[in-house]
Amino acid sequence: MTASLFAAEEGVGSKAIVLLHGFGGCHDVWREVISALTPSTHTLAYDLPGHGMSLDFPAAGPARVAAKAVLTDLSERRLKRVHLVGHSMGGAVAALMALAEPEKIASLTLLAPGGLGPEINGPLLRRYAEAADRSEIRSCLSQMSGPSALPLEHTVDILWEMRRRPGQLEKLVGIAAAMTVDDRQGVIPHDRLDRLNMPVMVAWGTSDAVLPFTQADDLPAHFHVHHVLEAGHMLAEEAPDLVAEIIRRNTSRRARPHRQKFAAAAS
């Protein structure tokens, strides 16, 4: 497999689902989502370059570097087609992967993805990057989550353990600074996204304090948009059962020529 790029692999089913976490996360944040999927599902949860066990990946930071790294790793694993799921920064990585090699992507599920609009809460993300103890991590997660979210102590523990690795905080601070210059993020042109023919689902919490859910407006007509009422930015942690159901739904359908919008509560 690709040197310095880590993926936790589970299951042996014929349907391979690739999970890409958001900025500051790691593969283990998907644990409850994976548990909610069918036991026979084959999953690969990556640590993106510069995060967790992929901390030392060369030139880590830009989404395009991560997209190329994961595509290369999938080729080395001889996986011809996968269902791709990405959250936040991982959503931008997933979209770039689908644009680069669409024949490899059977479906694309984006959870509050980066890159769909310029607005981004730079101050909160930079504070999150610097969070070095459980209390500060918990405070940042609380701001990123919806008003009815349960305490995310399991996630706090995961992120604290990850950030104890030498060099991890410095790497996150550098990535956050580059990602939020002038409190704006890079945008993937919508006319490029319109070329994607695989089923695409975009799920977004209506109380997202990191990326406004209105960035899902005016997407290509064949994208399905799912507004999760009162959920925040941390969808996989706030509503893992719902996220698993969204993944199951999107990986089982074919692309349609129109977009459907519907809303559901996170619980």
- Residue 266 has a pLDDT of 56
- Residue 95 has a pLDDT of 98
- Lowest-confidence range among 85-89, 94-98, 99-103, 149-153? 149-153
pLDDT digits (tens, 9 = 90+) for 93-124: 999 999 999 999 999 999 999 999 999 999 99
Q: Band the pLDDT of 168: cuts 50, 70, 90.
A: very high
Summarize the confidence of residues 216-221 as an average pLDDT.
92
Q: What are phi and psi of 169, to 5 degrees?
A: -60, -45
Q: Band the pLDDT of 231: cuts 50, 70, 90.
A: very high
Summarize the confidence of residues 13-26 as an average pLDDT.
94
Summarize the confidence of residues 139-143 as an average pLDDT.
96
Q: Band the pLDDT of 150: cuts 50, 70, 90.
A: confident
Q: How distant, in Å, are the alpha carbons of 101, 157, 198, 206, 235 from that of 153? A: 37, 6, 36, 23, 15
- Residue 148 has a pLDDT of 81
Mean pLDDT of the chain: 93
Summarize the confidence of residues 42-58 as an average pLDDT.
97
The answer on pLDDT for 172 being more than 80 is yes
pLDDT digits (tens, 9 = 90+) for 181-216: 999 999 999 899 999 999 999 999 999 999 999 999
- Residue 40 has a pLDDT of 80
Select the more confidently predicted residue: 8 or 256.
Answer: 8
Summarize the confidence of residues 65-72 as an average pLDDT.
98
Q: Band the pLDDT of 258: cuts 50, 70, 90.
A: very low
Summarize the confidence of residues 44-62 as an average pLDDT.
96
Q: Band the pLDDT of 39: cuts 50, 70, 90.
A: confident
